[in-house]
Amino acid sequence: MKPPVSARLPDFPWDKLTEYAARARAHPDGIVDLSVGTPVDPTPEVVQRALAGAADSPGYPLTIGREDTRQACVDWLARSFGVAGLGLDGVLPVIGSKELIGSLPLHLGLGPGDLVVLPALAYPTYEVGAALAGAEPLATDSLTSLGPRVPALMYVNSPSNPTGRVLPVDHLKKVVDWCRHRGTVLVSDECYLQCAWEDSPVSVLHPDVCGGSHEGLLAVHSLSKRSNLAGYRCAFVAGDPALVGELLAVRKNLGLQMPGPQQVAMVAALSDDAHVKEQHARYARRRRWLQDALEGAGFRIDHSEGSLYLWASRGEDCWLTVDRLAGLGILVAPGAFYGPSGHQHVRVAFTASDERVGAAVDRLA
């Protein structure tokens, strides 16, 4: 009997935080959970109204998605990030970006013998997706370390989870050229593209990066962070029509369809910039409070130019830091969750409410 598929997968990292979460919850004023970047602010009214108005949805949705939903994605990328030349055949709505990333290597036909390259410090689902397909994941930021090996797929993530690092245009262009020269599919996780604080992130689909061609490129976008839609599971993938078409063909057979009401809500969210500016201001305020408090408590903040996290270090083992903060009722994510080189950092989310962030600030003082 073959071993179960779960045997291929790494341990679920968050299970290791259970005892620290229990300690933090025991604080007299309750836990301040800064370990996960889940939105807590209201879903925008314009989106709620759109969802309610589309509630009568008796028929099956199409896997390819509604035309107006895909057009809203195209228009948003052009308006917000200068993406040009993207057509409707280069966009596919998906049921959350994590589901897409977790299944992407398998759906693109990767398997044993294929190499998947991910950042040295990375969102764990990149590795999970490669392992699920039976491919080999390799975490590295050095292309020269690959030698003659040619990856079937490579991930970039800017702004980064967990570090918040923003990759400049020249760097992204070099990666695009390197992948195209070798026939490697490049997937750019751009879920935090509108969560920028000290830099201006750019999409891999921007003409300055891709030279006006989307060949071999896929960009992954999520509405969870920008629009407080994590519960709606609204995301999309865009780029090379041939790659999008391959994903569509597989997903049709699996019945992976974004519900129709969510697609209508997605149009409303992507067409409205006002709520994004309001939420950005909330996060900027919380980020400033936490950064000042952490630095005042002896932490160093590295990178963190974008995303919804502060990449913080006291120059000690990350689990010791997690333990110290749990004693204050503050729960954070250990940097080791994201790769060995994160062993002296913790990831601190600033997605908690003003009240809870304020409580963390007081405790750090």
pLDDT single digits (tens) 310-321:
999 999 999 999
Report pLDDT for 12.
78
Give the closest residue to 96 by CA, choosing from 38, 45, 15, 10.
38
User: What's the whole-number mean pLDDT along residues 247-264?
Assistant: 97
Count how many Cα atoms sit within 13 Å of the Cα of residue 271 in the half-sphere of its side chain: 14
The whole-angstrom separation of Cα 157 and Cα 118 is 9
Give this prediction's pTM: 0.95
Report pLDDT for 14.
77
Report pLDDT for 2.
73
Q: Could you tell me which residues are beta bridge partners of residue 32? A: 330
The whole-angstrom separation of Cα 153 and Cα 300 is 34
Q: What is the largest CA-CA distance in the chain?
A: 58
Indicate the average pLDDT of the chain: 96
The 10s digit of each residue's pLDDT in 13-57 is 778 899 999 999 999 999 999 999 999 999 999 999 999 999 999
User: For residue 181, is pLDDT > 80?
Assistant: yes
> Is there a shared CATH topology between the 5-42+275-364 domain and the 45-272 domain?
no
Give the start-to-end residue ranges of the domains of the chain. 5-42+275-364, 45-272
CATH, domain 45-272, list 3.60.15.10, 3.40.50.2300, 3.30.310.50, 3.40.640.10: 3.40.640.10
Q: What is the homologous superfamily of the domain 5-42+275-364 according to CATH? A: Aspartate Aminotransferase, domain 1 (3.90.1150.10)
The 10s digit of each residue's pLDDT in 190-212 is 999 999 999 899 999 999 999 99
User: What's the whole-number mean pLDDT along residues 146-158?
Assistant: 96
